[in-house]
Amino acid sequence: MNYRLLSIILMTIIIVASVFPQAPAYTIGMSQCNLGEPWRVQMNADIKKAAEAHPEIRMVFKDAQNDNLRQSAHIDEFVRSGVNLIIVSPKEAAPMTKPISDAYRKGIPVIVLDRRVVGNDYTCFIGADNKKIGKAAGKWIAKLLGGKGKIVELKGLMTSTPGQDRNSGFREGIKGSSCEILFDADMKWLEPNARKEMESALSRFTQIDLVYAHNDPGAHGAYLAAKAAGREHTIKFVGIDGLPQEGQMYVKQGILSASFEYPTGGREAIETALQILNGKKVSREITLPSKVFTKENIDKGGEALPE
Amino acid sequence: MRTLLRNHIGRAVLSLVLVMIVGVLFNAEGTFFRWDTHRDMLRQVSVYGILAAASTIVIVTGGIDLSVGSLLGLSAVLFSLFSIHWGWGPVQSIAATLLIGVVCGMISGGVIGRFKIQPFIATLAMMVFARGVAKLVSGGQKISSAVQTADGSYSYVSVPEIFDSIGTRIWNDNIAVVTLLMIAVLFAAWIFLSQTVAGRELYAIGGNEEAAKYSGVSIPKNILLAYSISGLFCAVAGIAQAAQEMQGDPEAGASYELSAIAMVVIGGTSLRGGIGGIHLTILGILIIGYLEKILSINAVGEETRLMLTGIIILAAVVFQKKGH
């Protein structure tokens, strides 16, 4: 190695060291199962925003691109690089249980976000309850329709737990009223599919009172279909997720009657992480409260759902 | 040759008729007999149809373009970015988007023609790369009328008129503008493939590349042209997609390449190249479009839909194969 190369390396180290005057005390690894969904992009953004308020934390983000094996490799990498804490939003419970358990048994605190793992080898689980949200949506809708009406349900992926829970919770919520599900279809969380299915519902049924979609893009797709048919004023639209740039915006624009928030838990994850790192005890299970956004309450930041 | 071609059309038409008979039998309380249903089907297949036109041009050369879905997504994002967030006029936004589509196609075509890289690999690389660019420029979020400000909150702008002009229906509400776009693209592709020298040369390359080379056809130049046109059509599809959704979704078009290829193959165009054309692709588009519509109006469950679609694609292709 010649002296020039050596001096360049030394200079680089000095410059890098001076840019970061104080090394952060804690490194937190965040493993996201995929960044293809806006909701998960929002989760990372919430974590980043919360972490920026604490200079003692350095965040490392990894995106598993919907691949269990890649995500478990990411957890191993975090362990080997010696992070102080791991936040993980697992793709699936069974394949992710072992890598998470291994990390936890090596003494690294693990916060599991949104989707569960099997067993008890983690420090804390943070998540919202889709079934509860679906049920709240059902009750809210039954009330909005005055106890009776014809509903189109545009389901998320019915092979996924959120899709199943938002479906079964909703059906529980409208039970006892005279609301009737006229037409239901699986739109796989995708707006173009929702529009396509809604077009079929519109050409088949002359009276539709409300569309309940398992996510806000689905409700928006249904709205676009109804608008093209000139029927958007006779139909109400309700969605789930309540992201600021989607559901909340649609409510503000009067497109959706309501959007039910499915909180990302990003802020809560960082708060909990700090407590753990500072040696405080945290509860093993944190269920995130949800909100409903309507035209009346949107400017006040939504309204909390009753427990 | 002529009888063989007539045979291909005959078989594709017969497949379409069979699908239509299913529609007549399962008409969902008469829904299948209403014009709305057909008009909506034609809207719904439009972006797929445009991608199928792009794929046809590439497939007759014996190649394949896996990047059409990603290029659609990238174009949808860029068009929305230019026109909604940057406030460019419709002409500039459309022109810039089309130009970038052509450039992406030229990169694929250049690599395939010049360096003899297999189309499958070259366009796979473009598929992954273009999706990455779409996610990068959009920050992973949909480009819509919600604009994120520096502090993370959102302000709302209005979506330019051009979105509505493309996303709407005209002629007394009887046809979607995107359907007319698809028809225009299919017509242009048909003229190009069947009426121009360059088009005939693409068939020659697909039929027998060596023979084409020795009879004086420039392979790299023609391959470059085929993939550039494919890129251009993808950009048109991306604009049509964004206009209908009122936003640019970086995930738009994922797996659309498979539907586009299925439409081409079901029509009867050979994946080996040299045989087929736009007239067959049109039938393929209608077969898939009607199939999806019939399953949708009958509210058939997702599991059944996937299985039925698989069976029908296989049946149609086996049926086509008999013509050889």
Alpha-carbon distance of B241 to B260, in angstroms, equals 15
Q: Six-digit token pair at A241? A: 């997720």
**Domains recognised in chain B with CATH numbers:** 2-321 (1.10.3470)
Total beta-carbon pairs less than 8 A apart between chain A and chain B: 86
CB contact under 8 A, B142 and A245: yes
Statement: residue B243 has pLDDT above 70: yes
CB contact under 8 A, B297 and A203: yes
Mean pLDDT for B166-184 is 89
User: What pairing do the DSSP bridges indicate for beta strands A148-155 and A210-213?
Assistant: parallel
Alpha-carbon distance of A262 to A242, in angstroms, equals 7
Statement: residue B323 has pLDDT above 60: no
Alpha-carbon distance of B176 to B17, in angstroms, equals 24
Statement: residue B131 has pLDDT above 90: yes
* Residue from the list A195, A203, A224 with its beta carbon closest to the beta carbon of B37: A203
pLDDT at B309: 82
pLDDT digits 0-9 by tens, A152-192: 999 988 877 889 999 999 999 999 999 999 999 999 888 99
Mean pLDDT for A265-278 is 94
pLDDT at A251: 94
From the candidate CATH numbers 3.30.1490.20, 3.40.50.12280, 3.30.465.10, 3.40.50.2300, the one assigned to the domain spanning A3-127+264-288: 3.40.50.2300
In A, which residues are within 8 Å of B36 by CB distance? 199, 202-203, 229
Using a CB–CB cutoff of 8 Å, tell me whether B159 touches chain A.
Answer: no
For B165, phi then psi, to 5°, come to -65, -35
pLDDT at A125: 94
The 3-state secondary structure of A176-215 reads CCEEEEEEEEECCCCHHHHHHHHHHHHHHCCCCCEEEECC
Q: Which of B141, B143, B151, B172 should we substitute to test contact with A (largest number of A Cβ atoms within 10 Å)?
A: B141
pLDDT at A20: 57
Statement: residue A280 has pLDDT above 80: yes
pLDDT at A121: 93
pLDDT at B297: 87
In A, which residues are within 8 Å of B246 by CB distance? 224
Statement: residue A81 has pLDDT above 70: yes
* Residue from the list B142, B153, B299 with its beta carbon closest to the beta carbon of A183: B299
pLDDT digits 0-9 by tens, A198-217: 999 999 999 999 999 999 99
User: In chain A, what percentage of residues exceed pLDDT 90?
Assistant: 71
Residue A194: which residues within 8 A CB-CB, separation 6 or more? A154, A187, A213, A217, A218, A219, A220, A221, A222, A225
Statement: residue A19 has pLDDT above 70: no
CB contact under 8 A, B146 and A244: yes
pLDDT at A35: 85
Residue B18: which residues within 8 A CB-CB, separation 6 or more? none
pLDDT at A10: 72
How many residues in chain B? 324
> Worst-scoring range by mean pLDDT, A12-16, A30-34, A79-83, A303-307?
A12-16
* Residue from the list B36, B145, B148 with its beta carbon closest to the beta carbon of A203: B36
Alpha-carbon distance of A113 to A103, in angstroms, equals 16
pLDDT at B72: 97
pLDDT at A16: 65
pLDDT at B234: 97
Q: Six-digit token pair at B94? A: 């459309």
| pLDDT classification of B1: cutoffs 50, 70, 90 | very low
pLDDT digits 0-9 by tens, A121-160: 999 999 999 999 999 999 999 999 999 999 999 998 887 7
Distance from CA of B295 to the nearest CA of A (A): 10
Residues forming a β-bridge with A151: A181, A210
Alpha-carbon distance of A9 to B259, in angstroms, equals 52
pLDDT digits 0-9 by tens, B248-297: 999 999 999 999 999 999 888 988 888 999 999 999 999 999 998 998 88
pLDDT at B10: 81
pLDDT at B118: 94
Closest CA to B190 of B76, B313, B285: B285
CB contact under 8 A, A204 and B31: yes
DSSP structure class, residue B60: T
Mean of the per-residue pLDDT values for chain A?
A: 90
Statement: residue B324 has pLDDT above 70: no
Residue intervals in chain A for CATH 3.40.50.2300: 3-127+264-288, 130-262
Distance from CA of B23 to the nearest CA of A (A): 13
Residues forming a β-bridge with B155: B147
More confident residue, B80 or A38: B80
Statement: residue A31 has pLDDT above 90: yes
Q: Which of A52, A203, A248 should we substitute to test contact with B (largest number of B Cβ atoms within 10 Å)?
A: A203
| CB distance B199 to B267 below 8 Å | no
Alpha-carbon distance of A252 to A235, in angstroms, equals 17
* Residue from the list B154, B176, B292 with its beta carbon closest to the beta carbon of A245: B154
Fold of A130-262: Rossmann fold (3.40.50)
* Residue from the list A188, A196, A252 with its beta carbon closest to the beta carbon of B44: A196
Statement: residue B5 has pLDDT above 50: no
For A222, phi then psi, to 5°, come to -65, -40
Mean pLDDT for B295-322 is 81
